[in-house]
Amino acid sequence: MFVDKVKIYVKAGDGGNGMVAYRREKYVPDGGPAGGDGGKGADVVFQVEEGLRTLMDFRYQKHFKAERGENGRPKNQHGKSRDDMIVKVPPGTTVIDEDTGKIIADLTEHGQRAVIAHGGRGGRGNSRFATPANPAPEIAENGQPGQERNLVLELKVLADVGLVGFPSVGKSTLLSVVSAARPKIAEYHFTTLTPNLGVVETDDNRSFVMADLPGLIEGAHSGVGLGHQFLRHIERTRVIVHVIDMSGLEGRDPYEDYITINEELEQYNLRLTERPQIIVANKMDLPTSEENLAQFQEKVGNGVQIFPISAVTKKGLNSLLRAVADKIETTPEFPLYEEDQIEQRVVYKFQKQEEPFHITRDDDGAFVIEGHEIEELFKMTNFDREDAVRRFARRMRHMGIDEALRERGAEDGDTVRILNHEFEFVE
């Protein structure tokens, strides 16, 4: 089965917890704190593996959770950081954050890697918090939570040339006679249900990869027929070969077919119109084809070159393949995305700083504090240690949460909620 779009969940490893410990060696006076830091959690890294051709493996495993870092140890020993979790993907995979719609990575070359979710840093041990005023702190941080993401993976096949056209115009037959590919061929529409790839070699020893895509029909860009599922694969091609049934035996006008398919490509993605297009008049071995070709040429104009062929009899194929190879050599690769669309690239632009917290009121009257900064601080606080609780209270006060609660009408004894935990507001 050809799978080219899946949804998965990834979670990087949490950092290891810091430790509260003290030196107790004999003959070492005033040993002091000696709690080590926790290790870093594992990153989730996607790596391109050229042997893969579909996203089928992700149909059976949709959750990927990396290892958390090791906890800190006594004698200032740091916990072990974890190795990256490597997830293999086929070339041509685009990784999209489902929640934000941002493109995280576009993976095309064998061995290419991208960090998709970053592991959390390890929590600091109590030796990190020693000061002249508090030489023996009872404070140690929990590890930072690893990044979590819901992802959409899209596979766009890597081909130099994409065959487009209505169903049953002869795209699969053309691919089968110019390459070793063996796509399904039959006398009914939508025989091709998945993209087929074939390596084509010309008579002057040049080669390129050709993709036969499922047939398009009117409305394909909006979800009509099968073609809408595979229009994304045309985006990676450098040259589009537009195959037209010039015989008209299906009861359609060749020129109307030509206009309709181009409109579908434009409606799906305007940038597809930038790609050079080679027009192929197929089924020229049938009796009505010559007359239809003359009318078609008149409508499109003499400035448009058309390659008349018969895929069945293999007539006209050499000149077509040479023209395709020439066009590939003179056509640069088209970037799928602008540089600032891909999250991995560093783009410096002004963005309003996210508020460290915001306060809402639940139906039960409790004050709910939310925000990435305060929630992360909460998760990294060890509430079993009194010193750590005091430090958390000081940080909340420094962030202005106490004052903000008073402004919202919080009084002594009111309930304050962070995540799933509740506290009592004390004046």
User: Which residues define the annotated binding site for GTP?
Assistant: 165-172, 190-194, 212-215, 282-285, 310-312
Tokens 């410096």 found at: 348
Angle of the 171-178 helix axis to the 317-330 helix axis, nearest 10: 90
Residue type, 340: D
Which residues lie closer than 8 Å to 130 by C-beta, 6 or more apart?
Answer: 32, 33, 136, 137
Which residues lie closer than 8 Å to 250 by C-beta, 6 or more apart?
Answer: 166, 168
Binding residues: 165-172, 190-194, 212-215, 282-285, 310-312
The CB-side HSE value for 172 (13 A sphere, CA atoms) comes to 20
Question: CB count, 10 Å around CB of 202?
Answer: 18
Retrieve residue 403's tokens: 């004052």
Residue type, 274: E
Give the sign of the dihedral formed by CA 186, CA 187, CA 193, CA 194: positive
SS3 206: coil
Instruction: Provide the 8-state DSSP code for 282.
Output: E
Binding residues for Mg(2+): 172, 192
Which residues lie closer than 8 Å to 33 by C-beta, 6 or more apart?
Answer: 20, 21, 22, 23, 125, 126, 127, 129, 130, 135, 136, 137
